[in-house]
Amino acid sequence: MEEPIKTEFLTSKEVAEILRVTPATVMNMIKRGQLRGKKVGAGGVSSPWRIPKEDVVEYVESIKEKSSVKTSI
């Protein structure tokens, strides 16, 4: 039997706390394609979103890379 895929997901509020932005900013980042997100539940307007933790880690690392390039000039 195959192993189930083990991807950890975060809420938009958890991502906002990590990035020190508002949950609305996280939603805008999803709309702009900066982060991947998926609605869970019935899919209505108030359905919660989940963001893969690995995407958040990659985003933070890309910011670190960009800032290190700017400071090294």
Within-domain flag for 44? yes
Within-domain flag for 47? yes
Residues in Cβ contact with 13 at an 8 Å cutoff, skipping those fewer than 6 apart: 23
**Residue 38 belongs to domain with CATH number:** 1.10.1660
Instruction: Please write the tens of the pLDDT for every residue from 15-53.
Output: 999 999 999 999 999 999 999 999 888 766 677 899 999
Q: Is the pLDDT of residue 56 over 90?
A: yes
| Number of domain units in the chain | 1
Provide the pLDDT confidence category of residue 63 given band limits of 50, 70 and 90: confident
pTM score of the predicted model: 0.76
Lowest mean pLDDT among 51-55, 59-63, 65-69: 65-69
Per-residue pLDDT, 71: 53
